[in-house]
Amino acid sequence: MAGEVRPPELLDEPELILEDGEVYRNPTEVKMSQIVLPCHANHCGELSVGQLLKWMDSTACLSAERHAGCSCITASVDDIHFEHTIGLMTVSSSPQVGIVVSCEDLYRNRQWKVCHAFATFVARRTEAGKVQLKQVIPRTQAEQMEYSIAAERRRMRLIHAEIINDLLSSMSECLQFEDAVPAERTRVESVELVLPPHANHQVSTFGGQIMAWMENVATISASRLCNAHPTLRSIDMFHFRGPSHIGDRLVLKAIVNNAFKKSMEVGVCAEAYQGGEPLRHINTAFMTFEVLDQDKKPQTLPRIRPEPVDGKRRFQEAIARKKVRLDRKYIISCKQSEVPLSVPWDPSNQMYLSYNNVSALKMLAARNNWVLTSEKNKVSLYTLEENHVLCFKVETHVAIAAEQVFVLLCDLRRRHEWDPHYKYCEVINHADEDDTIYRVVTPSVSKGGKVQDFILLASRRRPCDSGDPYWIALRSVTLPAFPPTEGYNRGEVVCAGFSITEEDRCLTKLSYYNQATPGVLPYISTDIAGLSSSFYSAFASCSAFLEENKDSLAAVPSAASGEPHWETV
């Protein structure tokens, strides 16, 4: 069984006090503190990334084993972005498990974040057979948020190769430059003998050691292109494809795949063999380097001339991965306040917009400081105001199966049947089975005013585990084919949607969330002020709509799993 180790994002979250007065501490939390000594340093007198990877892997493994109750091995480590370097005589630590690395200056009493990562571990089989992991029960708000979006990160990992292939299919031939450096010049190969000190407590080669060796050959390769000391800025996901053991010869190969104006990508792979056996593929990763000047600013790099056939393939794939990284950084990594309400949509960034859409809704739903504003006939209105942003939640219960509710609410074209704020809705792009883009027209708020329209991405998710909710997430996107038109005010939605939770076989909790924007606020301001109760009327209509249409659904076996699910008939 596999489990993901996650760092909480809200490091300043207030402590949770238990009933007995004790401060809550996650039982899987592991802390490690290390003094950075000269033996840990690289040529610049800073902590070697290879050493840092060893410490990160060790800490995460200890956490995973606390949860699993048995030995665990590293299966993969998601992308790592290094925000800062670490100098000598500072302390590197992982404050809370998941892998958060911070640095402490012992003399100036300063702390800062270096990087964070998400690691997935696999529990090794015992004599009793396959290990069944305990269910994770998040307690704090930060744990609830990270637990909710872990499924989205897994979804992105599984579809990453498909995204790269889609990008490659639309690329043109790479250009050749006379002054380009031959990629062959950057090729590096090294062989390491796996000795007992390189093994972990399970007598396999320590994953952190393999990652450190890979970082070392990648750095040598990068330095051959730039004739300088490169700085590692990010690592695309490590994925361990097989184990290595004491006595293995580990063959490490690296080459610069592509050089962009201010950065370069180095591909590195690790293979193992013993005696005359064929090479076994252990790991592959892609590392992005920069060369910094005295002011810590990236310098311009020489161009690279790829080798024929495989070299050209690697050259094109590096361009695709850079596009993916930029999309991911722009859509996912930015704080909400730094991202415009409407983000341009295209097939290449579809997965990351979908991830951001669902994750934003899950994080909003996980907030624990909602305030009950009004309640009528078991329909409750809650508000949440933080950092000058107003959010609201409407919650009720319906005596209908959760999946039936999910199927009926998924199609926004039917929402006008119960929601007076939806005048008209049409599908303008059916991206895939989970994502659809709609144009929604809403009535004018004021007499004689313009009607509004919205271009909304609807992302749907079924539960990953029993007890998990269904999700329908909504956010605004822009499409060149559908610009704002005369006669309509173009409204925007930054985060909205439904959480649908099964509480009994035929009892479902239905929650609607919305982060109010100028285009949305006029519709609900009187409800929040207590001057009207249109929210009750809308949800009473929603309950009636669900009740009237539940018989239009039939249980149909899934083509993928064979499990029954509901479909409109």
Q: Give the residue with greater pLDDT, 8 vs 203.
A: 203
pLDDT at 347: 82
Confidence check: pLDDT of 374 > 90: no
Q: Which two tokens mark 174?
A: 């790479």
CA 545 from centroid of its chain's CA atoms? 35
pLDDT score at 5: 46
| Pairing relationship of beta strands 110-117 and 470-478 according to DSSP bridges | unpaired
Cβ contact 392:380 at 8 Å: no
Per-residue pLDDT at 205 exceeds 60:
yes
> Is the Cα dihedral 564, 145, 494, 545 positive or negative?
positive
Distance CA 49, CA 83 (A): 12
Distance CA 55, CA 316 (A): 34
Side-chain-side CA neighbours of 350 within 13 Å: the count stands at: 21
Determine the 3-state secondary structure of 236 from DSSP: coil
- Tokens matching residue 135: 């269910």
Task: Kindly compute the dihedral angle of the four CA atoms of residues 293, 298, 303, 307, in this order, to the nearest 10 degrees.
Answer: 100
Task: Supply the pLDDT for residue 336.
Answer: 46
pLDDT at 118: 75
Q: What is the DSSP string of 119-131?
A: EEEEEPPBTTBS-
pLDDT of 9 higher than 50 = no
Place of tokens 């990236």: 298
Residue range 60-89: average pLDDT?
Answer: 76
Long-range Cβ contacts of 174-178 (<8 Å, 24+ apart):
174/306, 174/312, 174/315, 174/316, 174/319, 176/305, 177/303, 177/305
| CB burial of residue 200 (10 Å; 0-12, 13-18, 19+) | middle
Question: Residue 491 is which amino acid?
Answer: G
Q: What pLDDT digit, counting tens, does each position of 290-341 carry?
A: 998 888 889 999 999 998 889 999 999 998 888 777 766 655 544 444 445 6
Q: List Cβ neighbours of 256 (8 Å cut-off, separation of 6 or more).
A: 183, 186, 221, 222, 224, 225, 264, 265, 266, 304
How long is the chain?
569
pLDDT at 503 over 70: yes
Q: What is the pLDDT of residue 346?
A: 83
Q: Quick count: other Cβ atoms within 10 Å of Cβ 61?
A: 24
Q: Could you give the CA distance from residue 404 to residue 7 in angstroms, rounded to a whole number?
A: 35
Question: What's the pLDDT at 478?
Answer: 92
Q: Which residues are CB-neighbours of 450 under 8 A, at least 6 positions away?
A: 444, 487, 488, 489
Mean pLDDT over 341-369 rounds to 85
Comparing C-alpha atoms, which of 439, 521, 415, 436 is closest to residue 488?
A: 439
Q: Determine the pLDDT at residue 447.
A: 63
pLDDT for the residue 196: 93
